[in-house]
């Protein structure tokens, strides 16, 4: 049996430049597929933090929390 170690989340989240770029692309309606995200080594932190979600077509879309991060920057 494996021990499950919970994912650590730092108390303050600051998105990287790459993560901000992805959020901005999504905000502008430009699609980002899971395959292209993996190819570009995008962080799963966007998913873990609820800034993006994945639809049934395996494409990312921005959430309201992601839009708030863009506005804050």
Tell me if 23 is assigned to some domain: yes
* Mean pLDDT, residues 14-19 taken together: 83
Tell me if 9 is assigned to some domain: no
Tell me if 32 is assigned to some domain: yes
DSSP string computed for the chain? -PPPPPPP--SS----HHHHHHHHHHHTT--EEHHHHHHTT--THHHHTTSEEE-TTSEEEE-HHHHHHHHH-
Q: Higher pLDDT residue, 33 or 23?
A: 23
Over the chain, what is the mean pLDDT?
78
Domain range for 63 = 17-72
pLDDT for residue 66 is more than 60: yes
66 contacts 39 by C-beta, under 8 angstroms: no
Domain total in the chain: 1
Write the CATH number for 37: 1.10.10.10
Going by pLDDT thresholds of 50, 70 and 90, the confidence category of residue 68 is very high
């Amino acid at each position: 049996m494996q021990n499950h170690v919970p994912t650590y989340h730092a108390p303050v989240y600051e998105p990287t430049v790459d993560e901000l770029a992805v959020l901005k692309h999504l905000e502008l309606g430009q699609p980002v597929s899971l395959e292209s995200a993996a190819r570009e080594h995008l962080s799963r932190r966007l998913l873990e933090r609820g800034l993006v979600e994945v639809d049934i077509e395996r494409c990312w879309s921005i959430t309201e929390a992601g839009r708030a991060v863009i506005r804050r920057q």
